[in-house]
Structure 1
Amino acid sequence: MLKPLLTAAAAALMLATGVAAAQDLSRPESSFGPKPKAGNWQNTVTRTERGHLIGNPEAKTTLVEFISYTCPHCADFAARGEPALDVVLLGPGKLTVEVRPRIHNGLDLAVTLLANCGDPAQFKVRHRTLILAQADWLGKARAAPQSQQAIWQRGDRGGRQNAASALGLTAMLAAKGQSKAELDACVADDAAAQELLRNDEADTAEFGVNSTPSFAMDGKLLADVHSWEALYPLLRTRFTAKAD
């Protein structure tokens, strides 16, 4: 886990350094400089109709992150891109990121219900706990008997409960201090599961999202951008242009 985080920190430094000629984090008047009393915007989270919004709600640039919890490329972005965004753009209040889940399969339903479960202020803790441990629990899922995988892929209440327990997903969040009873109730919530599916369909209709991770900036889907390497230069250009 340490290596991805160090890589993300390096990426954050690259993003900041790349625009150093136009901006200076130490100067209040800088484009990247935090507003007085702005606080740590990367820790501000609110629930939205289709996901969770992180950052300063008055930021002029918005980024929607479409992710699937069973998508390995999404886990890679979470490990390397999200910490860099926290440091350079979210913290100073220059960007908001809305995390919207995509539902590819029954496991996605179970994991997303857990990520959304409880206080929105703790969403980032749940989100990153689950997605950064993806290699472990998804590896167990792939190694499970076909009969059990079939149960999980049904996506119904019994299948979701079975997956959350067998793959240690509930236990993972309970170890962070969340009530197991609350987590169990969220996984069993059929109405919430149906809402996730409706939201998934709405995002497909509105943005044409067909792969993960995908990103929309200021309401427009970014074509062929499915990684931190592809997103980073667009953000650098955007914020350098704003400073200029």
Structure 2
Amino acid sequence: MLQQLSEAAHRFFFYLGTNDGTLLIRSIEVIFFWVITYMIVSEFLRTKEHELRYLAIGFGIFSIEKTILTISTGLVIFSDVPLKSLPEFVPLMQFGLEMLAIVMLANAFGFSLFKKVEQKFLGSMYLQTGSFLVIIAVVEVFWLNSDVFKSGGSFAAFWGGALFTSIGMIYLTAAMMITIRGGTQNDKYKINLMLAFLAYFIALSLRLANFFFFQGTYGRLYVAEQPLPFISGLLFMRFV
């Protein structure tokens, strides 16, 4: 019995590492993140709290990113479109939009701590966002001229992927520190928030390890990473 369960689990996780499994995961994520975005927008329209505005933007970016990736994966599977023939910006969307969303989330939770200097905080946030958009554009130029791209390699094996992942980890660390320092407004949900940020941090850590040790090609690390953003989103729902 245990052997059969072990074999079933092995086949299931192997399936998740295939294109079909990736499409399944991303399809679930698309629905899930759009639902979260809708919930946050509805709450913002009711309360008009600034934090919720930036949370909505962050999760909206997540939702757009998941939608683009789901459509791309579907094209690869159902239209026999080679992965290499997808638009050049698609790989950058996965990393760039994901990290931009993390930047917005970290700033959203930081907003409650800096209400007394709201204008300076907003100016800093806009500067961070603008700087990150410039970084995305620069990385795109390097990506299109890289040997990895020209040889049909994965963006996960390109140094730009590691750069974006590292930036995301820095912002998630900042978000966890902000959560620890947060006031009574977040005390009730502090554990959930910490676990949510930690789950995503672990996902990015696995991705970074995959890059440094396996050039982004190790399937088991890829599969281990996949459910963590979803788990993180579930924990965020308790906050919303």
**Is the pair's TM-score, using the shorter chain for normalization, greater than 0.5?**
no
Q: Which has the higher strand share?
A: 1
TM-score when scaled to structure 1?
0.30
Higher RCO (CA-CA < 8 Å; seq separation 6+)? 1
